[in-house]
């Protein structure tokens, strides 16, 4: 983790060093070029997976245990005392998204109906992270679950439509509606409007 702090000029930021120190055994500075990012938000935990450009795969769980957050990856586990599991996850998520420079094959954001507040919080934070990058995130395939129609605006405007090839929108509630859209070249200029209508159809 020290190599990450040195490479990205975080060495003077002591609070950030403290927040990131628990993950030193999980990340290396060569793994910001990801091919897949996938997360599933639940009421008391978050499942988070990513695959690097070197084909390494990592699976994490961020779980709330009383007033503490447990983070596990394989057989490794650490506990963050007096920490909120969503906040801990978002600190790691920000690092990965902020320094992602290659094209993601898949960006998958999923949830469960009983995790509405957590999922909305994560989508709003993701929008803030992506907007702060200075350039749009390049994604080939987006899989996005929506609890509300307007949540599409938290993610889509921050993506590069010139790279996007397919979008899968899902309603994770008991209705279980799903829409798969293949992006045609001549539809990219008004793609957001098209996807707004598709999102609307999920809830009608």
pLDDT tens figures, 27-48: 444 455 789 999 999 999 999 9
Crossing angle between the packed helical segments 116-131 and 85-98, to the nearest 10 degrees = 30
Return mean pLDDT, the chain.
83
Count CA atoms within 13 Å of residue 109 on its CB side: 26
Q: Identify each DSSP E strand in the chain by its residue range.
A: 34-41, 45-52, 57-65, 68-73, 76-80, 104-111, 139-145, 166-170, 178-182
Q: What is the mean pLDDT of residues 134-143?
A: 95
> Does residue 70 lie within any of the structural domains?
yes
Q: Under DSSP, is residue 92 helix (H, G, I), strand (E, B) or coil? A: helix
pTM of this prediction?
Answer: 0.82
Q: How far apart are CA 28 and CA 195, in angstroms?
A: 36
pLDDT band at 98 (very low <50, low <70, confident <90, very high): confident
C-alpha 126 chain-centroid distance: 7
> Does residue 113 lie within any of the structural domains?
yes
> Does residue 25 lie within any of the structural domains?
no
C-alpha 146 chain-centroid distance: 14
Sign, Cα dihedral of 145, 163, 127, 154 = negative
> Does residue 126 lie within any of the structural domains?
yes
In the numeric block, which tokens belong to residue 147? Answer: 């609890």
> Does residue 5 lie within any of the structural domains?
no
Residue 53 structural domain: 31-202
The pLDDT > 90 percentage for the chain reads 51
> Does residue 40 lie within any of the structural domains?
yes
- State the distance between the two ends of the chain, measured CA to CA, in whole angstroms: 47
Q: How far apart are CA 11 and CA 161, in angstroms?
A: 35
Q: How far apart are CA 140 and CA 160, in angstroms?
A: 9
> Does residue 151 lie within any of the structural domains?
yes
Q: How far apart are CA 150 and CA 154, in angstroms?
A: 8
Q: How far apart are CA 119 and CA 40, in angstroms?
A: 9
Number of domains in the chain: 1
> Does residue 107 lie within any of the structural domains?
yes
The secondary structure of residue 145, as a DSSP letter, is E
């Amino acid at each position: 983790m020290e190599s990450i702090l040195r490479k990205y000029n975080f060495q003077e930021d002591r609070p950030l060093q403290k927040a990131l120190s628990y993950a030193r055994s999980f990340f290396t500075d060569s793994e910001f070029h990801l091919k897949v990012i996938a997360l599933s938000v639940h009421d008391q935990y978050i499942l988070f997976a990513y695959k690097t450009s070197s084909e390494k795969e990592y699976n994490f769980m961020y779980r709330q245990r009383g007033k503490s957050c447990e983070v596990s990856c394989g057989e490794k586990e650490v506990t963050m005392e007096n920490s909120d599991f969503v906040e801990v996850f978002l600190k790691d998520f920000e690092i990965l998204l902020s320094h992602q420079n290659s094209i993601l094959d898949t960006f998958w954001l999923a949830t469960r109906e009983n995790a509405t507040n957590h999922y909305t919080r994560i989508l709003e934070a993701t929008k803030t992270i992506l907007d702060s990058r200075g350039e749009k995130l390049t994604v080939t395939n987006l899989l996005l679950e929506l609890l509300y129609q307007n949540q599409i605006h938290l993610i889509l405007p921050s993506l590069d439509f010139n790279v996007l090839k397919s979008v899968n929108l899902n309603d994770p509630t008991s209705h279980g509606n799903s829409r798969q859209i293949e992006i045609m070249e001549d539809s990219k200029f008004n793609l957001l409007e098209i996807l707004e209508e598709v999102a609307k159809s999920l809830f009608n």
